[in-house]
Amino acid sequence: MAKAPRTKRIPDKAHQANVADRKSKKRKGHAPGSRHSEADQTKVRQNHGAKADPRLGSKKPVPLTAPSKSAKEPQKHFSPAKELSAIEQDPRLEALLDKAEQDQSLTAEEKTYIDQKLARHRQLCELLGIDAADDKDEKSSDPRQQSGRSHVADDEDALLDKFMNSDIKDLN
């Protein structure tokens, strides 16, 4: 049997170019690197002729250290008497002392807060010449204070002993 003659024509180079043009028209999407070239064109217009690389970010300086947090400064009182009354009316201190009187466990931060406030209270009492016995008399004469907490020297010593003798396991 004999082979059949070829009827297909081999395309020439001009024909191949037309096929390539048709393929490029059928493609979708942008040419590779188009985001950089388009950005260059827009940046040139914005910067009045200065060529800029779009990959470069802001020129704002970046801080190399963490910003320092400004700690809340303790409230400054004008006189020791005002500071003493502020400590005595401190709602957080009252709540923590009530919690301690009810034999509930306190965190280390709460204990240090109580210790600091009570130490400052003692300093102010000594500075003003107020005695713990005077404090007892004032509390017994005021009916509002009788129903509330009383933090006389004995209670403070008992509370301090309780904190000093507590186990570390109680903190959890």
Pair 132, 152: CB distance under 8 Å: yes
pLDDT attached to residue 144: 42
pLDDT attached to residue 21: 60
**Residue 49, domain member (yes or no):** no
**Residue 144, domain member (yes or no):** yes
**Residue 3, domain member (yes or no):** no
User: Rounded to an integer, what distance in angstroms lies between the CA atom of residue 123 and that of residue 117?
Assistant: 10
What is the full per-residue pLDDT of the chain (172 aa) written as tens digits? 667 666 666 656 666 666 656 555 666 776 676 666 665 555 555 555 556 666 777 788 888 998 887 767 666 667 888 888 899 999 999 999 999 999 898 899 999 999 999 999 999 899 888 876 555 555 555 444 444 444 466 788 888 888 777 766 555 5
**Residue 1, domain member (yes or no):** no
pLDDT attached to residue 137: 52
**Residue 46, domain member (yes or no):** no
Pair 100, 67: CB distance under 8 Å: no
Structural domains in the chain (count):
1
Range of the domain at 87: 80-166
> Which candidate, 100, 142, 137, places its Cα nearest to that of 117?
100
**Residue 32, domain member (yes or no):** no
**Residue 95, domain member (yes or no):** yes
**Residue 118, domain member (yes or no):** yes
